[in-house]
Amino acid sequence: MSVAVGPRVSKEEFLRALGLDVNNPQHEQLYRAMREEAIQIYNEINRDNSALLESRRNERPPFYWHHIRQDRQRWGVMEIWTRAGPVTKGFFDRGATNGEYGPNWVTGWLLYSVFRSRDIRNNRRSKRSEDGGAGGNSGVTKRSKGAKDVPKSTGTYYDPVRNGTV
């Protein structure tokens, strides 16, 4: 039985909770298959603004996780699980829970991870290319024109709850 982990834990912690090893190429392939299934649902959620909170209905994709209505987040988590292929189904089944990270912590982690990796405020590759690869821009990340500067936490990802922008 797997131990549920929250959506903000690292990939390594996530894989470890599933009994997988990040250094095992076969486990990495399995992880990529699970992630691909989550990406399909991410793309569906981003197809139009009907999944957005009412206050965010004028926004254009890609959307941020915290701008998606909770019922659509839950739909996404369940839809990944429902559509699971034969290779991923058993791992998704391990995520079933009525607990804090329910209804499925595995598909929930994957969907949140896809949203987080596509959040322009968290895209490490974009940041490196914008600042010449040095990784330093005075400790501040520019979000968008007219937006407030957000202090950069070195070695961590952008989290709107933790960083206080929600």
- pLDDT tens for 49-65 read 999 999 999 998 899 99
Candidates 123, 92, 121; CA nearest to 106 is 92
Position 47 scores a pLDDT of 95
- pLDDT score recorded for residue 99: 86
Q: What is the pTM for the complete model shown?
A: 0.73
pLDDT, residue 46, reads 95
Euclidean distance between CA atoms 54 and 57, whole angstroms = 5
